[in-house]
């Protein structure tokens, strides 16, 4: 009932105002949210993934206005998300147009007469998007609220433009800021960093117990000793699919987690990555890095039968050949790639034994052509006397022998559809969260600088609240096996995203039928 009333309130808000998003004066109008009535949604629509490749295309965002018609359009993102406030230490992403070669160029940024610095255009994120990043370049602590003009100059290309941003009063920033700050606590396994006033702070004792339990399992599985604490940063916002690992582990924990990630499962996965990295190896192909974590945690987002789920991919026609997947792992369809990777590692351990698999995994070396599939082929021949092609033949033969519960097909199909929809939402309305180019500044530097806004703030327009709530409901229905309801909610989310993409605008919004809302929130 609480969620039902929340959705009614959101619909009321939507019916009273036009939707807009952006920063400063960059506020292109978004469409009003639309609904899909029961007559428009078939009882069992097929929600297949659009492609087995994830799209690295830059999502639509407010872009800079060039001062001359021959200047290409650069996308500029300001951080923290959700508007700027006095006191923010502002970072800038200046994203190069795809059609322009800006290698060996740099951008210089000024606000008024004050130079904010310059940055080279470099590959960023898992797909190497070309951008210039100025990290915490603009300290607004001593400024007054109001409009400020940023001027951008790209050299030596010679492009220049300006845009205006609005700096809001600090008194208007939403809780838990401005009082929120970093705290660190030690558990048996970990040094856990969290931000005060967040859900993590309120449930800290339980989270520390979870961390100790997941770390103990990970250490035992990997056969290592924990000679130094595991650094864990708990994120109070969604980034990617809920977890990342670099020099420390980052895991999302919040009440309205629209990606549906289980904290314990994701933490276990990321701890495996950290321990795996400490053990090292000349070349650890991404398919095996991710496959190892999925295998040892017993599933990707949740405990799941890996081999039957991979077998379902074969029957659905969605299986990605291993050579293709190995050489383009992170740009392949995410859920398919992780299911196959986890199932492959499970198959190899069952076939060769853990010790032999581990020796093979730590003894893979780069090849002259740079392809990870060729590196795996060479290591397979050296350790097991088989080619990569022969490994795949054995793997797929084993998949065809699997018994598949009929529900597995629906669950696999809708898991893929759900996360494709999540990523589509992120590209449209929360681009800093999109996993291939997520905004994830170094946690240690943030703690040293006392910066929390980059992790606290996120887009919070009525359209964000509405669609995130629907995604939460879709995830709940999927977990419970309510597959027709999951399909209906995903269709509703995608219909609204279609309207946003088409820039269909109605000044007073479209209220959603109470029947639809009730069906979604109170099945």
| pLDDT tens profile 108-130 | 999 999 999 999 999 999 999 99
6-20, 160-174, 239-253, 296-310: range with lowest mean pLDDT: 6-20
Query: Is the pLDDT assigned to residue 67 strictly greater than 80?
Result: no
**Crossing angle of the two packed helices 483-501 and 462-479, in degrees rounded to 10:** 160
Asked if the peptide bond before residue 268 counts as cis, ω within 30 degrees of 0, the response is: no
Q: Please give the pLDDT value at position 177.
A: 87
Q: Please provide the distance, in angstroms rounded to a whole number, between the alpha carbons at the two ends of the chain.
A: 11
| pLDDT tens profile 346-357 | 999 999 999 999
Q: What is the CATH number of domain 65-172?
A: 2.60.40.10
| pLDDT tens profile 436-457 | 999 999 999 999 999 999 999 9
What's this model's pTM, rounded to 2 decimal places?
0.86
| pLDDT tens profile 289-309 | 999 999 999 999 999 999 999
Residue 86 pairs with which residues in a beta bridge? Answer: none
**H or E, element range at 400:** helix 388-400
Q: The tokens of 55 are what? A: 């799209």
% of residues, the chain, pLDDT over 70: 83
Q: Please give the pLDDT value at position 502.
A: 87
**Sign (positive or negative) of CA dihedral 352, 354, 358, 359:** negative
Q: Please give the pLDDT value at position 71.
A: 78
Cα distance between residue 213 and residue 108, in whole Å: 48
Query: Is the pLDDT assigned to residue 68 strictly greater than 60?
Result: no
Query: Is the pLDDT assigned to residue 31 strictly greater than 70?
Result: no
| pLDDT tens profile 463-477 | 999 999 999 999 999
Please report which confidence band the pLDDT of residue 54 belongs to, taking 50, 70 and 90 as the band edges. low
DSSP H helical ranges for 249-305: 263-279, 286-297
Answer for the pair 516, 37: CB distance below 8 angstroms, yes or no: yes
Query: Is the pLDDT assigned to residue 201 strictly greater than 90?
Result: yes
Q: What is the CATH number of domain 178-280+429-459?
A: 3.30.2010.30
Residue with tokens 């293709």: 324
**Could you state, in order of their start, the residue ranges of all structural domains in the chain?**
1-50+466-523, 65-172, 178-280+429-459, 283-404
144-148, 153-157, 256-260, 336-340: range with lowest mean pLDDT: 256-260
45-54, 154-163, 228-237, 503-512: range with lowest mean pLDDT: 503-512
Please report which confidence band the pLDDT of residue 504 belongs to, taking 50, 70 and 90 as the band edges. confident
Cα distance between residue 161 and residue 115, in whole Å: 15
Torsion of CA 342, 343, 349, 355, to 10 degrees: -10
């Amino acid at each position: 009932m609480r969620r039902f009333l929340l959705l009614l309130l959101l619909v009321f808000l939507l019916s009273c105002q036009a939707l807009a998003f952006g920063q400063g004066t960059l506020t292109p109008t978004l469409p009003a949210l639309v609904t899909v009535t029961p007559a428009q949604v078939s009882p069992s629509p097929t929600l297949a993934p659009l492609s087995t490749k994830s799209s690295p295309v830059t999502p639509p965002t407010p872009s800079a206005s060039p001062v001359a018609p021959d200047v290409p359009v650069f996308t500029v993102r300001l951080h923290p998300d959700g508007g700027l406030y006095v006191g923010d230490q502002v970072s800038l992403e200046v994203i190069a147009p795809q059609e322009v070669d800006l290698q060996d160029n740099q951008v210089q940024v000024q606000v008024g007469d004050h130079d904010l610095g310059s940055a080279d255009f470099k590959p960023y994120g898992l797909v190497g998007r070309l951008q210039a990043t100025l990290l915490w370049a603009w300290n607004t602590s001593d400024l007054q609220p109001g409009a400020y003009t940023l001027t951008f100059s790209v050299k030596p290309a010679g492009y220049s433009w300006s845009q205006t941003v609005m700096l809001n009063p600090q008194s208007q920033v939403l809780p838990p800021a401005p009082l929120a700050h970093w705290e660190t606590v030690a558990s048996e396994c970990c040094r856990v960093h969290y931000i005060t006033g967040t859900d993590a702070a309120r449930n800290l004792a339980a989270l520390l117990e979870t961390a100790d339990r997941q770390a103990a399992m990970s250490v035992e599985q990997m056969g290592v000793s924990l000679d130094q604490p595991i650094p864990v940063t708990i994120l109070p916002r969604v980034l990617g699919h809920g977890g990342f690992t670099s020099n420390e582990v980052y895991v999302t924990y919040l009440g309205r987690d629209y990606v549906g990630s289980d904290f314990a499962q994701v933490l276990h996965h990321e701890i495996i990555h950290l321990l795996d990295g400490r053990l090292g190896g000349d070349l650890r192909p991404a398919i095996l890095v991710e496959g190892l974590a999925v295998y040892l945690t017993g599933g990707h987002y949740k405990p799941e039968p890996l081999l039957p789920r991979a077998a379902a991919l074969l029957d659905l026609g969605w299986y990605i050949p291993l050579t293709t997947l190995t050489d383009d792992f992170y740009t392949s369809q995410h859920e398919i790639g992780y299911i196959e990777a986890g199932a492959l590692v499970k198959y190899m351990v069952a076939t060769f034994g853990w010790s032999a698999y581990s020796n093979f995994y730590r003894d893979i070396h780069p090849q002259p052509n740079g392809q990870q599939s060729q590196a795996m082929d060479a290591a397979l021949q050296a350790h097991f006397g088989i080619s990569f092609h022969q490994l795949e033949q054995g793997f797929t033969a084993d998949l065809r022998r699997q018994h598949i519960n009929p529900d597995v097909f629906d669950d696999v199909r809708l898991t893929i559809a759900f996360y494709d929809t999540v990523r589509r939402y992120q590209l449209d309305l929360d681009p800093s969260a999109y996993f291939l180019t997520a905004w994830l500044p170094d946690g240690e530097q943030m703690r040293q600088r006392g910066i929390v806004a980059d992790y606290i703030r996120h887009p919070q327009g009525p359209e964000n609240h509405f669609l995130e709530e629907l995604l939460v409901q879709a995830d709940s229905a999927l977990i419970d096996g309510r597959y027709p309801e999951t399909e209906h909610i995903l269709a509703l989310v995608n219909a609204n995203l279609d309207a946003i993409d088409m820039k269909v605008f109605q000044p007073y919004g479209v209220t959603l039928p109470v029947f639809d809302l009730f069906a979604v929130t109170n099945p």
